[in-house]
Structure 1
Amino acid sequence: MQKDHGANAPATPTSGRVRHRRRSNEFPVEMGRANGNHLLAYDQNKYRSMWVRACSSLWMLAGFLLILYLGHLYIWAMVVIIQIFMARELFNLLRKAHEDKRLPGFRILNWHFYFTAMLFVYGRILSHRLVNTVTSDKIFYRLVSRLIKYQMVICYFLYIAGFMWFILTLKKKMYKYQFGQFAWTHMILIVVFTQSAFTVVNIFEGIFWFLLPASLIAVNDVAAYFFGFFFGKTPLIKLSPKKTWEGFIGASVATTISAFVLANVFGHFQWLTCPRKDLSTGWLHCDPGPLFMPEYHPLPGWISQWLPWKEIAILPVQWHALCLGLFASIIAPFGGFFASGFKRAFKIKDFGDSIPGHGGFTDRMDCQMVMAVFAYIYHQSFVVPQDYTVEMIMDEILSSLTLEEQQNLYKKLGQILQDRVLGLSQS
């Protein structure tokens, strides 16, 4: 048997293709170029989106400052317009064009309920201020007084008319859609007008109590966006994938500091701190009260030696502002998380496209709704004095009683005081 000498011979290279195992960190040149182009386009879109968002924010800020300068009545009108846009966006969310074609006039019914709710809510809130506005005209005063007296009855029968309209327009095979729209409409009314009622009350208690909470939400939103944009790495919540812990923490610190500073700035303007007792647009003058009177606190020696002043002036309202700032930075964002989950449930990116770079009005108002309710509750619980004062009783008398009733009260009170004086003199 012959020995195979070729078995131990060194292997000679063949002319076939030699395959090399690709390392995990090696990518084809074409793939690298494609990814590079994709990342470049992503960065360009990212910065373009930030630029559009910044420009629209500046336009909104300029318009907002103009409305603030015009006064309480114009701010209320702005709130009404925003609510109409919000209602429109929410009405359209569950709208189905095919079903609506089979239900002519059904959209009008939604707006009928909306404006009935608006008449009821704002009628209850602004009735006293409307009376104070028209006291100089006796005929107009009597007309307004009658309307206010029967305002609840008017709103009730308007609602009943809409309810009957809904029942009479029910169609076979459309019941589920119609009742779903009916329930959706009422949910919108609850969400929109619950927030709006508290917002309007805050406005007329003093623009300060509307402006500060709204500004804190805006500061928190902007700070969270920029901190997340430049430093965000750790996801915060699955409902909103773009939210990061870095953005949340950075915005919380920035919002709390801003609350303390902005309260001091806003607190020096009577236009912002004075409450509005009527629906006029004239300039306001009032006693700022102890909340807006500065208190001077000496600085520690190791700090004052580095500064040109020895004490610092702090408004008492700034301590209240810290509570508002903490709420705006920690709890109010959950309104945005709720809205994010809501949009994911309906598989939409934004509620609308009314504001370039921001989406719709509802996208901007999600946290504001939560904040407005808290600001009202906090103001009524911890800021408004709980004991009755002469000014509070006089305001209630002037806003609740007619002119004739006020005159009768004046006569009776004068008689009571006269009898007491005579009784004391005889004793």
Structure 2
Amino acid sequence: MTELRRRQQGDQDPECVAESVNPGNQHHVGTAMKDGDEKFDGDGMDKKDRVREDPKDDSDLPEVPASVDNTPEVLSKALSGLSSRWKNWWIRGILSLAMIGFFFVIIYLGALVLVLIVFIVQIKCFQEIIMIGYNVYHSYDLPWFRTLSWYFLLCVNYFFYGETVADYFFTLVQREELLRLLMRYHRFISFAMYLTGFCMFVLSLVKKHYRLQFYMFGWTHVTLLIVVTQSHLVIHNLFEGMIWFIVPISMVICNDIMAYMFGFFFGRTPLIKLSPKKTWEGFIGGFFSTVIFGLLLAYVLAGYPCFVCPFEYNSVTNSFGVDCEPSELFRLQNYTVPAALRSFSGWETVKLYPFQIHSIALSTFASLISPFGGFFASGFKRAFKIKDFANTIPGHGGIMDRFDCQYLMATFVHVYVASFIRGPNTSKLFQQVLFLRPEQQVQLFTLLQDSLWKRGLLPVEEQQGAVRQ
């Protein structure tokens, strides 16, 4: 009756709705808890938080249904004799090994398959977040909510992937007249598509649900910002060279595993209230393990051109490839050992790839800052009284539960490469010059020749030839 009275009053505050409407989500209380997740009571809240809340609000809260245990039957039978703590350990361990094996397989299949996997993961993460909002507010019959959410996903993907194609495959696009036109007017088309969705949203507004509809409009756009934008950065990292994709992702995976193991065996001191099972022992153990792992993985991958070369389209062979001369970043160099470590190690110099030095910065971020993406997700889930985003992976939750830290890491890698690594790409610039009109190419050549001549960068013979002309 309380809920019926609220609905009859018309427009409501979103926070009140979130507390009063049964989400209908079947994954609120998980049987397998990972390191850092909270222990929930019957309605998905930590008991300490319930004491602090208004008891009048608690009386309106519906009971949260128990989650569906989607652990494979064979695995459940094999582990039936273990305690819940060790059963969770083995479920997480076995599923983690399976996911790592799958990761190796898709790396072997190449960059284009990885792009497809990133796109699929992006869609699944978007769906998991949007469905939380839909499950909370579906009883209000908000018009076109899911339709507009997926339409905006289409618009944003069209914009970002079009920009990526224009940046990395400009030569290929220019071969087809239709693709050339789409690229030329790409941003205008993207804007027109978005405006169409914007107008559809305005036309869908219903008087008694104004506040909820604008709330969900913001929900959709924040989700697009978090998921789609950062997925786009993952693909940019991949095209810079697979090493910029593999190493950061592997670091986050390593940190997650080692933090869980150190916390499982040695954890005593709580780290953060949002995730009471996270411990300082796990946090510190994960940090040192990730730094060492990053140095070793960087050393192994830096020696293979297939991992360090950018993924590019070759207009001569009409094919995609990663063939290049490795840059200085991926060539062994001698480094002087600091005096403080020289007496301890007995080495005066050591051979390292410069990329290994950069890997220390990446592993530090993966260990100290990236976990805050997980803490942010924990706060989000606590706000909606859910245990996981979904039940896709037994013992791990949904896809978004596995990628909450990865997206933050991908953004850092993109900014780091743009700030400290990437330089002007002469090959990409040359390909763009080839598609200028002939008179523009000649004009550019003359301007460049004059500039080089004035700065004394042309050989004397070429300067004399230019004077005679």
Q: TM-score range by the shorter chain?
A: 0.7 to 0.9
Structure 1 residue 150 displacement after superposition? 0.8
Q: Which residue of 2 aligns with 1:403?
A: 435
SS at match of 1:374: helix
Q: Which residue of 1 aligns with 2:84?
A: 45
> Superposition RMSD on alpha carbons, in Å?
2.8
Aligned pair 1:327/2:375, yes or no? no
Would the aligned equivalents of 1:70 and 1:281 in 2 still touch at CA under 8 Å?
Answer: no
Structure 1 residue 102 displacement after superposition? 3.1
Q: Where in structure 1 do 4 or more consecutive aligned residues deviate above 6 Å?
A: none
Structure 1 residue 295 displacement after superposition? 1.7
Within a 5 Å distance, the mapping from 1:3-402 to structure 2 comes to 44-96=83-135, 99=138, 102-103=141-142, 105-134=144-173, 138=175, 140=176, 142-278=177-313, 282-296=320-334, 303=345, 312-385=350-423, 388=424, 392-398=425-431, 400-401=432-433
**What is the one-letter code of the residue matched to 1:221?**
D
CA separation of 1:96 and 1:178: change in aligned 2, threshold 3 A: farther
SS at match of 1:334: helix
Would the aligned equivalents of 1:73 and 1:281 in 2 still touch at CA under 8 Å?
Answer: no
SS at match of 2:99: helix
Structure 1 residue 172 displacement after superposition? 3.0
1:380-408 Cα shifts (integer Å, max 9, x gaps) = 111224xx5xxx2342231x456353x44
1:296-322 Cα shifts (integer Å, max 9, x gaps) = 4588687569xxxx9743111101100
CA separation of 1:98 and 1:196: change in aligned 2, threshold 3 A: closer
Would the aligned equivalents of 1:100 and 1:106 in 2 still touch at CA under 8 Å?
Answer: no
Distance 1:214 1:303 in 2: 31
Distance 1:281 1:57 in 2: 35
Distance 2:171 2:273 in 1: 51
**What is the one-letter code of the residue matched to 1:294?**
L
How many residues of Structure 1 are paired with residues of Structure 2 in the alignment? 372
CA separation of 1:91 and 1:311: change in aligned 2, threshold 3 A: same
Distance 1:147 1:239 in 2: 47
Would the aligned equivalents of 1:131 and 1:145 in 2 still touch at CA under 8 Å?
Answer: no
SS at match of 2:276: strand
Q: Which moved more, 1:344-353 or 1:94-103?
A: 94-103
Distance 1:154 1:282 in 2: 27
Gaps of 5+ in 2: 1-79, 451-461
Structure 1 residue 88 displacement after superposition? 0.4
Distance 1:83 1:43 in 2: 36
Distance 2:209 2:421 in 1: 51
Would the aligned equivalents of 2:309 and 2:323 in 1 still touch at CA under 8 Å?
Answer: yes
CA separation of 1:43 and 1:401: change in aligned 2, threshold 3 A: same
Gaps of 5+ in 1: 1-40
SS at match of 1:95: helix
Distance 2:121 2:191 in 1: 25
Structure 1 residue 176 displacement after superposition? 2.4
- Relative contact order, CA 8 A, sep 6+: which one is greater? 2
Distance 1:187 1:358 in 2: 24
Q: Which has the larger radius of gyration?
A: 1
Structure 1 residue 421 displacement after superposition? 4.2
Distance 1:312 1:113 in 2: 52
1:73-95 Cα shifts (integer Å, max 9, x gaps) = 21111111111001001001111
Would the aligned equivalents of 2:434 and 2:441 in 1 still touch at CA under 8 Å?
Answer: no
CA separation of 1:217 and 1:152: change in aligned 2, threshold 3 A: same
Distance 2:343 2:428 in 1: 48
1:82-126 Cα shifts (integer Å, max 9, x gaps) = 110010010011114774673454311110001100111111122
Distance 1:103 1:282 in 2: 46
